[in-house]
Structure 1
Amino acid sequence: MSQGTFTPAPGAAPLHRQVRAQAAMETKLLLRNGEQLLLAVVIPVLALVGGTLAARRLDLDLAHEPVDVLTPGVLALAVMSTAFTSLAIATGFERRYGLLKRLGASPLPRIGLLLGKVLALLLVQLLQAVVICAVALGLGWRPGGGVLGAVVAVLAALLGTCTFAGLGLALAGALRAEATLAAANLIYLLLMMGGGIVLPRDTYGAAEGPLQLLPSAALGDALRTALWDGRADAVAFLVLLVWAVLGAGLASRLFKWE
């Protein structure tokens, strides 16, 4: 037997393996949590199906077919539900139970923890997009943006994820877990109903202009323009970028690991 066969070789795994393991764990936790699964998949699908059927029954005067109007907004809603509400609530309770503090004492660096969370968000959002697009296609959705529109929509979704993730981490860092739970759900409901995310801003009457400044409306506008016309809405991308910088600044200032 060669020398050194049983010599221990302690040490941390490479960063990419740590991030992959952390992302897998984060994804499983998100999908096993009934409340988070409700926010991630069930509510957006119900909004899509219910809104499309109601619009058809009421024969609403819309610029496009009801399913074509609602699908980009529901995709934007799914991004917000995962990147903001689910992330804020999960992170708040992880801080409360000391999980983040324990992870901080592990070989996993803080950047690895954040990368794992981001990767988990993207995996869940991919699942959301597959489910929502499948339902929309079954309802007769025909995206008009083509390949270019799909690429722009993905870029908008990524920027929206950064925006809402920063805001979610800032909220989780500023409030206690129970307060984060209440505030995140309240903000989600308010933005879903009146934030210009599911329906186009022109359906809100005089509030159309001010709504343009909200990240929810900006993400909805960006996805609608991409999937309807196959182009980028420069104003919407600029608004999202400003909110992304603001969210990152607030998160770095307010977020605490314990």
Structure 2
Amino acid sequence: MSTTHAGSTPRTRAAVPGTLALGLARTGYELRSFFRERDAVIFIFAYPVIMLAIFATVFGQDDASIELPSGQVPFAQYFLPGMVATGVMLTSFQNLAISIAVERDEGGLKRLRATPLPATAYFLGKIGQVLVNCTLQIAVLLAVAAVVFDVPMPQDAAHWATFVWVLLLGTASGAICGVAFSSLPRSGRSASAVVTPVVLVLQFISGVFFQFDQLPSWMQQVASVFPLKWMAQGMRSVFLPDEAAQLEVSGSWQHGAIAAVLLAWLVVGLVVGVRTFRWRRRDDG
């Protein structure tokens, strides 16, 4: 029986937003939630800048620099790529691995799973938040490097194109691996204790704080398994002169290997995440 009265228009059901639209809306929610945590915001945005300032000041005393046949590379310029890479790792891998573990422990993921929001939209929101935060963080870092430490920025489109694809691949692999790793901590309270040491160890062995070619060979081999070393190497190819490639262990930038390793970790993180991601706490079934 029709419920439409004379002179009235039939009621139409409102269209359900698509997954992409829901993902964009979720991105806005994730960004608002992130920026309300002021201590986390300050740490994630300020850490690369502070570390660049410390290392550039300590190692750059008396105008010291790294020698190349064609000239010299100031320490601030050499350390900048590593700071960009570690900033991406903090914003993507560490941020998601900890925040998702906390959400699960507090029951937020369980409640969210009971809503009509598709799981894909939830993860799109997380990745969107990471992309926005990475962009803002790196913009601040590059501005400080250029203005305060006189680090020259790339002048040609090819170097910036390399910067973009290394940044996007590194951010994507870091975010996906962060989601997968979030299932490892047994509780939200232990998340920082589990995730932070992993990040610190990778920073020290991946050429972030030291010249990678001066690290012990066994350490170089271990670091080559993980994406941070390759992300830092890719960023060095952007911000250092082409002659600086001879400082790499292989004597070249290895762009093909960088892309392959980052893509491999993206696939591995996706497979592991799909198989192990949990919406409930371990003691909640």
Structure-2-length-normalised TM-score:
0.81
Q: Provide, for residues 196-243 of structure 1, a one-character-per-residue CA deviation record: whole Å limited to 9, x for no partner.
A: 234441132433344222211111001111332577622222222222
Farther-moved stretch of structure 1 (118-127 vs 152-161)? 152-161
Q: Is 1:169 aligned to 2:191, yes or no?
A: no
- Which runs of 5 or more residues in structure 2 are unaligned? 1-5, 68-72, 243-252, 281-285
2:118 aligned residue (109, 118, 124): 109
**Change in 2 beyond 3 A, CA 1:217/1:58:** farther
Query: What CA distance in whole angstroms lies between the structure 1 residues aligned with 2:215 and 2:174?
Result: 23
Q: For residue 203 of structure 1, what is the aligned residue in structure 2?
A: 214
Query: What CA distance in whole angstroms lies between the structure 2 residues aligned with 1:198 and 1:148?
Result: 26
1:137 aligned residue (135, 141, 146): 146
Which one has a larger percent helix, Structure 1 or Structure 2?
1
Farther-moved stretch of structure 1 (76-85 vs 171-180)? 171-180
- Which runs of 5 or more residues in structure 1 are unaligned? none
Q: Is 1:126 aligned to 2:130, yes or no?
A: no
Q: For residue 270 of structure 2, what is the aligned residue in structure 1?
A: 248
Q: Is 1:159 aligned to 2:169, yes or no?
A: yes
Q: For residue 246 of structure 2, what is the aligned residue in structure 1?
A: none
Paired residues, what number?
257
* Structure 1 residue 72 displacement after superposition: 1.2
Q: For residue 192 of structure 1, what is the aligned residue in structure 2?
A: 203
1:227 aligned residue (226, 239, 247): 239
Q: Is 1:218 aligned to 2:230, yes or no?
A: yes
Matched position secondary structure for 1:178 = coil
- Report the structure number with the largest CA radius of gyration: 2
Say if 1:68 and 1:143, in contact at 8 Å, map to a contact too: no
* Structure 1 residue 33 displacement after superposition: 1.6
* Structure 1 residue 35 displacement after superposition: 4.0
Farther-moved stretch of structure 1 (117-126 vs 106-115)? 106-115
Corresponding letter in the other structure for 1:55 = F
Corresponding letter in the other structure for 1:150 = W
Q: Provide, for residues 80-103 of structure 1, a one-character-per-residue CA deviation record: whole Å limited to 9, x for no partner.
A: 001111111110111112212222
Q: Is 1:94 aligned to 2:103, yes or no?
A: yes
Say if 1:22 and 1:113, in contact at 8 Å, map to a contact too: yes
Farther-moved stretch of structure 1 (9-18 vs 82-91)? 9-18
Q: Provide, for residues 140-172 of structure 1, a one-character-per-residue CA deviation record: whole Å limited to 9, x for no partner.
A: 010346221111111111111122222211221
Q: Is 1:40 aligned to 2:44, yes or no?
A: yes
Query: What CA distance in whole angstroms lies between the structure 2 residues aligned with 1:105 and 1:118?
Result: 21
Q: For residue 8 of structure 2, what is the aligned residue in structure 1?
A: 3
Q: Provide, for residues 37-70 of structure 1, a one-character-per-residue CA deviation record: whole Å limited to 9, x for no partner.
A: 2442111110111111112216544242112111
Farther-moved stretch of structure 1 (62-71 vs 224-233)? 224-233
Query: What CA distance in whole angstroms lies between the structure 2 residues aligned with 1:243 and 1:8?
Result: 46
**Change in 2 beyond 3 A, CA 1:134/1:254:** same
Q: For residue 50 of structure 1, what is the aligned residue in structure 2?
A: 54
Corresponding letter in the other structure for 2:275 = R
* Structure 1 residue 20 displacement after superposition: 1.8
Say if 1:211 and 1:217, in contact at 8 Å, map to a contact too: yes
Structure-1-length-normalised TM-score:
0.89
